[in-house]
């Protein structure tokens, strides 16, 4: 039997389990164990598992709920930074994190168990636009942005999303409604997770695609089902900002 001590955090409802490891400790996690702990019925339940290794810089490994490894999570990296700060009992407000999408700077202000943070998300790159989409973008991971229709229920969205995601070998699909030049609303089917309350990289991809099409400006509030995320776009890339909240300490015993 193995006992893992985890923290659970969420950013706008996008929830993560975080395991903070000391340098040289080595990771015990694999796809099977990650999918089990993230299972909503058989495990603790989360959209993903974050493994933080306290190297210089701190390293982030991200498993989606299905056990697949993802390149980047805009909400997850804020949760990881908050978990590292709690674990180390530190009071810094900026942390550099090495991800599979590159180095990212996280700025974080905490008030007890609640906080607000921002992260430099790097360059947004556009791919060839797929039929029935507004655009396709990479924010470390791939996204397809589709104009939403209020008549579509979740099943209809899933039928639309499946072939779009499969054409890229797996991708997040954002269904967007533009509200005005500074605000849009999305609902997201996330690769390896399914429907999620918020998606940070998806919010950035959506804002970038909409800005390219002249539908929004360079500062956009993206309404996610779990809360608002702020995206700023400039020549250096994108910045994402949003809340982070501690949920629980978890002791997970597994064979």
pLDDT, tens only, 214-246: 999 999 999 999 999 999 999 989 999 999 999
Total residue length of the chain: 255
Tokens in use for 116? 């607000």
Tokens in use for 137? 């973008």
Same domain assignment for residues 153 and 142 = yes
Same domain assignment for residues 69 and 82 = yes
Same domain assignment for residues 161 and 195 = yes
- Residue 177, burial from CB neighbour count under 10 angstroms (0-12, 13-18, 19+): middle
The CATH number of whichever domain residue 225 belongs to comes to: 3.10.310.10
CA distances from 59 to 52, 77, 85 (A): 6, 10, 14
Same domain assignment for residues 102 and 213 = no
Phi first, then psi: give them for residue 159, nearest 5 degrees.
Answer: -65, -35
Alpha carbon distance 239, 232 (integer Å): 5
Instruction: Name the CA dihedral angle for 64, 69, 70, 75, rounded to a multiple of 10 degrees.
Output: 40
Q: Maximum CA pair distance of the chain?
A: 56
Same domain assignment for residues 112 and 92 = yes
Please check the confidence at residue 255 and state whether its pLDDT lies above 80.
no
Same domain assignment for residues 97 and 140 = no
- Residue identified by tokens 């956009």 is 220
Q: Binning pLDDT at 50, 70 and 90, where does residue 90 land?
A: very high
Supply the range of the domain harboring residue 216.
124-235
Same domain assignment for residues 219 and 132 = yes
Same domain assignment for residues 166 and 84 = no
Same domain assignment for residues 65 and 140 = no
Same domain assignment for residues 177 and 192 = yes
Residue-wise pLDDT tens digits, 131-182: 999 999 999 999 999 999 999 999 999 999 999 999 999 999 999 999 999 9
Question: What is the model's pLDDT at position 1?
Answer: 82
Mean pLDDT, rounded, for 186-210: 97
- Selection from 30, 32, 52 nearest residue 42 by Cα: 32
As a whole-number percent, the residues of the chain with pLDDT over 90 amount to 95
Same domain assignment for residues 89 and 111 = yes
Question: What is the number of structural domains in the chain?
Answer: 2
């Amino acid at each position: 039997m193995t006992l893992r001590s985890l923290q659970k955090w969420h950013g706008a409802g996008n929830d993560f389990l975080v395991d903070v490891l000391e340098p040289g400790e080595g990771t015990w996690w694999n796809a099977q164990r990650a999918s089990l702990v993230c299972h909503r019925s058989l495990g603790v339940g989360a959209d993903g598992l974050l493994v933080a290794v306290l190297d210089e810089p701190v390293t982030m490994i991200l498993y989606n709920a299905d056990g697949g490894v993802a390149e980047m999570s805009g909400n997850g990296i804020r949760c990881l930074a908050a978990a590292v700060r709690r674990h180390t009992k530190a009071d810094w407000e900026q942390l550099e994190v090495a991800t599979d999408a590159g180095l990212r700077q996280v700025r974080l202000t905490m008030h007890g168990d609640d906080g607000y943070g921002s992260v430099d998300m790097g360059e947004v790159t556009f791919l060839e636009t797929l039929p029935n989409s507004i655009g396709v973008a990479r924010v470390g991971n791939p996204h397809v942005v589709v104009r939403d229709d209020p008549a579509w229920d979740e099943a209809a969205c899933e039928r639309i999303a499946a072939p779009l995601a499969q054409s890229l070998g797996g991708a997040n699909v954002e269904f967007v409604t533009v509200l005005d030049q500074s605000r849009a609303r999305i609902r997201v089917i996330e690769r390896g997770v399914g429907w999620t309350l918020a998606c940070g990289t998806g919010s950035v991809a959506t804002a970038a695609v909409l800005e390219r099409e002249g539908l929004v400006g360079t500062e956009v509030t993206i309404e996610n089902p779990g809360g608002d995320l702020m995206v700023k776009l400039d020549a250096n890339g994108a910045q994402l900002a949003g809340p982070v909240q501690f949920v629980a300490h978890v002791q997970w015993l597994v064979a």
